[in-house]
Amino acid sequence: MEIFKYIFKRIIQTIPLLIIVSLISFFIIRLSPVDPLAELRLNPSVSQETLQRETQRLGLDKPIIIQYCKWAKSFIKGDLGITSNGEQVSTKLKERIPNTLLLTIVVITVTWLAGIPLGILAALNWKTPFDRILTVLTSIGMAIPSFFFAVLLLIFAVKTGWFPVGGLTGANFADMSILEQIKDITHHLFLPVLVLFTISLAGLQRQMRANMLDVLDSDYIKFARAKGLSETKVIYKHALRNAINPLITLLGFEFAGLLSGAALTEYVFQYPGLGRLILEAVLKSDINLVMASLMMGAIMLILGNLIADILLIITDPRIRIKS
Amino acid sequence: MKEIIKQLLRDKFARLALIVLGSIYLALFFADFLAPYTKDFSDRTMAYVPPSKIFTIDENGKLSRPYTYNYIREFNQESLEMRYKLDRSKKYYLKFFSQGQPYKFLGIIPMKYHLVCVEPDGRLFLLGTDINGRDVFSRLLFGGRISMTIGFLALFVLFPIGLLYGGISGYFGGKIDNIMMRFAEAVMSIPSFYLLIILASILPSGMTSIQRFILIVIILALIGWASFARVVRGMVLSIKNQEFVMAAKSIGQSELGIIIKHILPQTTSFVIVAMTLSVPSYILSESGLSFLGLGIQQPDASWGNMLKEAQEFTNIIYRPWLLTPGFLIFVAVLAFNLIGDTIRDVLDPKSRVR
């Protein structure tokens, strides 16, 4: 029961955060000298009525505080307005958010599957050539600019023809069987995932290695060894569990970093995700779309941190006792 | 501090990184002299020319002074392509330490000498040219000046803000602390790259390049201050109850005075470390921003905006020399990271990166 109380408390804490985020984003965007409806006005396919409705909805003729309240009200209701093409912002977001989530979740999974074992191996072989080579490799991975790496991989894809360039699905995706569809998506995801994986692996692997080294030095590991436990048991039963725990906090940060890093990667690979959407929206100064995707990005980030925190509350009893 | 420098010099990787960074900054400082051309020199007839070939053995098989040929454009009727071919009719000898295009060293002293030039009418493009027929090698040097300093400048804007914000928040505590930290957390909750491109996109268009540069610096600083302020606050919380703070209070020092004069100086070593550790991320942010066309704008060069041309398939496949800025970013970031790792190891024996 205690656990639920803490989780509930933690969820309540995100509400003021969301309000401040929305205030910040709203004022940044309203500070810009751009007329929020300029694109709409220029688009002949958008009727005068729609324009009128948008002016009404945004309260553009009223002071900025009222504008914010109006915007917040319609945001909570789920009415995000229309893009400069006259499409509903919400449908556009519904299209893109799952794609970005798919990309980030796949990357996080792959990074953890590779980073944890590599971290353990590096710690167990501390200061051996294996450890050093791994450190050098991860340093290199960390230093490549994501967009540059993406461009290099694109050259590779174009020259070899092994990978499709751009998009998430092939041309005749709708006609494929489920199995083929999964294969097609995997094929398209491979390069973007590779870019983000290379960049985020270093952080996780190093953290795991450091935690493991820390834990291996501790008294209870010495005790377990003194007791005569086998080395596998000492490492995989006693050390590993304690070393992984702090990484859960990292999960939240990783999610944040990926959302940012993914934007450039999505842009280079023409991947239909939230990052590319916001970029296109920014370049077209499509205010409704920018505002909505900025909020969505923030909500995703806050939720990511929330999930990490809840996981930590569940796995680490010390946190419950402290608070 | 001395200990850190000693360790840096002792460590193999860190020493190499220091040498690399040192030579990069030295080259950037003397960019005007090292570059065969000035930043704005362009030869419109010479777009996308491949790197000049330098010969030291002439057609008779004899050793000669280094010379180069110009390229001429040729239209291939069969493949319908523009090709560049070496024009072997006239040799142009390289001239070292000779007079070339005039420039102002350090922006003041007018000079004409370049490390290497070519005879009049000859063209020396060590790394080819871009779409406007500008020398990529020269622009790499001038662009590096922006790319490699913008991170530091952003840090110099960001650190005072973060220090003061964290200092005030930690020192006063209570409600002020609560509100200030919620605000900082909110800034951190917006994916930083999203915030970056939005801030960059609302910059008005008709700005001079210096104004734009300054605003980009400020924007980069706006992204990073929050997380830094949080750490400072944590440190201030542990410092503020020490005796010397009480002493300052008892002699009637103002509260802001206590924060600035007595508490914040205690965090110096942390600040220096945090600075070296975060330089690479600012270099990457700037290059990403310029790559998208939202950062430093043409005709100014930065490594990021030079890579903008690499967005086109034809460019990356047929004109690989346009990718050189990417390798330089990589080398610079790698060097900064290696130094950062060593510093972290020195200060925190637990970190054991190496």
Whether residue A250 sits in one domain with residue A154: yes
A158 within some domain: yes
Residues of chain B neighbouring A161 (CB-CB closer than 8 A):
none
A62 and A190 in one domain? no
How many whole angstroms separate alpha carbon B154 and alpha carbon B303?
17
- The answer to whether position A295 is within a domain reads yes
Pairing type for strands B81-105 and B109-118 reads antiparallel
pLDDT, one tens digit per residue, over B123-143 is 778 788 887 778 888 888 988
* Domain C-terminal end among A56, A77, A98: A77
Pair A229, A299 in one domain: yes
Residue with token string 């307005």: A81
- Among A145, A152, A214, select the one facing B287 at the smallest CB separation: A145
Closest-CA distance, B289 to chain A, in angstroms, reads 9
- A194, exposed or middle or buried, with CB in 10 Å at 0-12, 13-18, 19+? middle
CATH code (residue A147): 1.10.3720.10
Label residue B20 by pLDDT band (50, 70, 90).
very high
How many domains is chain A partitioned into structurally? 2
User: To probe the interface with A, which of B183, B201, B305 has the most A CB atoms within 10 Å?
Assistant: B201
Find residue B95's DSSP bridge partners.
Answer: B117
Residue with tokens 């210096």: B210
Residue A202 lies in a domain: yes
Query: Do A146 and A223 have their domain in common?
Result: yes
A199 within a domain of the structure (yes/no): yes
**Residues A179 and A68 occupy one common structural domain:** no
Residue A197 maps to a domain: yes
Q: Tokens 């209570």 — which residue?
A: B174
- A210 vs B183, B204, B352: nearest CB: B352
For chain A, helix (H) and strand (E) counts, in that order, are: 15, 0
DSSP A88: B
How would you write the pLDDT of chain A (323 residues) with one tens digit per residue? 677 888 888 888 888 888 888 888 888 887 766 666 666 677 777 777 777 777 777 767 677 788 888 888 888 887 777 777 777 888 888 888 889 889 999 999 999 999 999 999 998 888 888 988 998 888 888 888 888 998 888 888 888 888 887 777 777 777 778 888 888 888 888 999 999 999 889 888 988 988 888 888 889 888 988 988 888 888 888 888 888 888 887 887 788 778 877 888 888 888 888 888 888 888 887 888 888 888 888 888 888 888 888 888 887 777 666 55
Residue A83 lies in a domain: no
Contact B189 A294 (CB under 8 A): no
ipTM, interface predicted TM-score of the complex:
0.84
In a domain, A11, yes or no: yes
The minimum CA-CA distance between A267 and chain B, rounded to whole Å, is 9
In tens, the pLDDT along B194-228 reads 888 888 887 777 778 888 888 889 888 888 888 88
| Mean pLDDT across chain B | 84
> Domain limits of chain B?
2-23+139-353, 52-124
Instruction: Give the whole-angstrom CA distance, residue B21 versus residue B5.
Output: 15
Angle between helices B268-291 and B192-201 (to 10 degrees): 60
Range of the domain at A29: 2-77
Are A187 and A305 found together in one domain? yes
For the domain with range B2-23+139-353, which CATH number is right: 2.40.40.20, 1.20.120.1200, 1.10.3720.10, 1.20.120.1460? 1.10.3720.10
Q: Are residues A146 and A13 in the same domain?
A: no
Count the neighbouring beta carbons within 10 Å of the beta carbon of residue B176: 13
Our CA-based measurement puts residue B98 at a distance from the nearest CA of chain A, in whole angstroms, of 37
Is 0.80 surpassed by the pTM of this model? Answer: yes
Pair A181, A291 in one domain: yes
Closest partner residue to A214 (CB to CB) among B198, B287, B350 is B350
* pLDDT tens digits, one per residue of A243-274: 888 888 788 778 877 887 788 888 888 888 88
